[in-house]
Each structure stands twice: as C-alpha cells, then as structure tokens.
Amino acid sequence: MTEIAGGCLCGAIRYEINGEPFRIANCHCDDCRKATGSAYATILFFKEEQIKILQGTPKKFEHLADSKNTMIKEFCSNCGSQVFGSGAMFPGVRDVTVGSIDDASFVKPEVNLYTAHALSCSHIDDEIDNFPGMPPS
C-alpha cells in the first residue's frame, strides 16, 4: 500500500494518505485558479477514509462551483496553503492539492477539466482526456 505524506507551507497541517488516488486531474476552472493562485490546479482524488490528518485543523471555505454545487476548500489559517477540497457532487471524496504533497514526483495527470476556461498560456496535453467542463458521470 502506498503512503503519501504532505502538509501546508508552514508545517502547521500535516497529513498522510494510504493508497493510490482514483483520479488525478488538472482543473482549469476559475475557482481552482483563484484558490491556488495559479493557471490551473493539479488535484488528486481519494476516498475520505484514505486521508488522516496528523497535525493541525484546516480552516474551511464553502462556495458554489460553476456546477452550482457546494464546494469546500480546506486551507491552513496560518500560511494560507490550500491542502484539501471536497464537494456535494461527490460525497465521501476528498481531493488533495499536488503542491501540498511532500514528494509529488509520481503525479501524472489523467485528465484536464474545464479546458474551456484554460488560459492561453496553459499547455493542454492531447494524450490525456480533455473536457470543456466537468466530464459526464
């Protein structure tokens, strides 16, 4: 079983994950860009029970996504690093931002989401699945 360790920039939040993500995605939606301060977010999706918070308590921010579903961003109240996310569309699922993983060398995105919102400077890899919005269920 794979163990993944990570945390926020200042170290106040630390976590470990047991097992593999069931999806790795680059999301180009406006919310992900604003939350990460980057051109897109690379996020790994896990079942909630795979993730164990070892230290700290993330602060939560709730908002409506483009899909009109409630989304929750979880971040460090000290340094502001976004660490986790979740949404009403996928109960029992928690996503982890790639930047919070200690050794993310294994990360290979499988899909690009919301490519219709992608910035012109973003490379969209045609060798993986690409969706202009959220893919069909």
SS3 per-residue string spanning the chain: CCEEEEECCCCCCEEEEECCCCEEEEECCHHHHHHHCCCCEEEEEEEHHHEEEEECCCEEEEEECCCCCEEEEEECCCCCCEEEEEECCCCCEEEEEHHHECCCCCCCCCEEECHHHCCCCCCCCCCCEECCCCCCC
The per-residue pLDDT for range 51-106, each reduced to its tens digit, is: 999 999 999 999 998 778 899 999 999 999 999 999 988 999 999 999 999 999 99
The per-residue pLDDT for range 1-54, each reduced to its tens digit, is: 579 999 999 999 999 999 999 999 999 999 999 999 999 999 999 999 999 999
Asked if residue 137 belongs to a domain, the reply is: no
Asked if residue 107 belongs to a domain, the reply is: yes
CATH code: domain of residue 54: 2.170.150.70
- pTM confidence score: 0.93
Asked if residue 135 belongs to a domain, the reply is: no
Asked if residue 81 belongs to a domain, the reply is: yes
